[in-house]
Amino acid sequence: MPTDAASPPEARTATTGDAPDLIKEMAPPKLSRAAQKRGLRLALGASASFSVAILAGWPLATFSTVFVVLFLQGPAPMPGRAMWKLFQTAFVFLAFSWMLSSALLAYPVPYLMAIATAVALSFYWSTTGAGTLGVVLALMSALMIPNLVITSRELSLILVAWIPLNLFVAWLWTVLMFTLIPPIPLPSASAKSAGPPPDPARLVLRMSLVTIPFAMLFFLSGSGMIVTLLFVALLSMQLAAATGAGPKVAKGMLMANVIGGIAAIIAYELTVIAPLMLTAMLAFTVASIALARWFVSERADASLAGTSMSTLVILFGGSIAPFGDDADVKMFDRLYQIGFALAFVLLAYLVVNAFLPTIRAARQDAQKSNLKELTRKKASTQRAGS
pLDDT tens string 325-344: 444 556 667 667 777 777 77
Task: Compute and round to an integer the Cα radius of gyration of the chain.
Answer: 26
Residues in the chain: 386
Q: Does a structural domain hold residue 366? A: no
Which residues have CB under 8 Å from 11's CB, separation 6+?
none
pLDDT at 14: 45
Which residues have CB under 8 Å from 295's CB, separation 6+?
39, 42, 73, 302, 303, 305, 306, 309
Distance separating alpha carbons of residues 345 and 214, to the nearest angstrom: 9
Q: Report the amino acid identity of residue 68.
A: V
Q: Say if CB 56 and CB 48 are below 8 A apart.
A: no
SS3 45: helix
Which residues have CB under 8 Å from 1's CB, separation 6+?
none
Kindly tell me if the per-residue pLDDT of 254 is higher than 70.
yes
DSSP label of 77: P
Mean of the per-residue pLDDT values for the chain?
77
Query: Is residue 154 very low, low, confident or very high in pLDDT (cuts 50, 70, 90)?
Result: confident
Give the Cβ contact number of residue 81 at 10 Å: 8
Kindly tell me if the per-residue pLDDT of 7 is higher than 50.
no
How far from the centroid of its chain's Cα atoms is residue 86's Cα? 18
DSSP label of 8: -
Instruction: Find the range with the poorest average confidence among 61-75, 105-119, 168-182, 371-385.
Output: 371-385
Helix locations, 31-180, DSSP H: 33-56, 61-72, 80-104, 108-126, 132-139, 145-151, 153-180
Q: Say if CB 319 and CB 330 are below 8 A apart.
A: yes
Distances (CA, A) of 216 to 120, 204, 228, 360, 372: 13, 17, 13, 29, 43
pLDDT at 43: 92
Q: Does a structural domain hold residue 382? A: no
State the helix-helix crossing angle for 132-139 and 80-104, rounded to 10 degrees.
Answer: 10
State the helix-helix crossing angle for 304-317 and 33-56, rounded to 10 degrees.
Answer: 20
Q: Does a structural domain hold residue 255? A: yes
More confident residue, 147 or 132: 147
Q: Does a structural domain hold residue 324? A: yes
Q: Say if CB 157 and CB 102 are below 8 A apart.
A: no
Kindly tell me if the per-residue pLDDT of 28 is higher than 50.
yes
Distance separating alpha carbons of residues 225 and 190, to the nearest angstrom: 41
Task: From 129, 201, 199, select the one nearest 366 (Cα to Cα).
Answer: 199
Domain count across the chain:
1
Task: From 207, 38, 45, select the one nearest 125 (Cα to Cα).
Answer: 207
Q: Say if CB 123 and CB 203 are below 8 A apart.
A: yes
Give the predicted TM-score (pTM) of the model.
0.75
First-to-last C-alpha distance (Å) of the chain: 107
Give the Cβ contact number of residue 362 at 10 Å: 18
The domain in which residue 312 lies consists of 33-185+199-358
pLDDT at 191: 45
Q: Say if CB 368 and CB 251 are below 8 A apart.
A: no
Distance separating alpha carbons of residues 286 and 270, to the nearest angstrom: 12
Q: Does a structural domain hold residue 16? A: no
Q: Does a structural domain hold residue 341? A: yes
Task: From 141, 169, 149, 139, select the one nearest 60 (Cα to Cα).
Answer: 169
Q: Does a structural domain hold residue 23? A: no
Per-residue pLDDT tens for 87-113? 999 999 999 999 999 999 889 999 999
Q: Report the amino acid identity of residue 71.
A: F
Per-residue pLDDT tens for 66-91? 899 989 988 888 999 999 999 999 99
Average pLDDT estimate for 350-355: 76
Per-residue pLDDT tens for 206-246? 888 888 888 888 888 766 566 677 777 777 766 665 545 55
pLDDT at 251: 73
Q: Report the amino acid identity of residue 273.
A: I
CA angle, 51 as apex, 46 and 57 as ends, to 5°? 125
Distance separating alpha carbons of residues 300 and 332, to the nearest angstrom: 27
Q: What share of the chain has pLDDT > 90, as a percent? A: 21
Q: Does a structural domain hold residue 59? A: yes
Which residues have CB under 8 Å from 88's CB, separation 6+?
none
pLDDT at 188: 53
Instruction: Find the range with the poorest average confidence among 112-116, 253-257, 358-362.
Output: 358-362
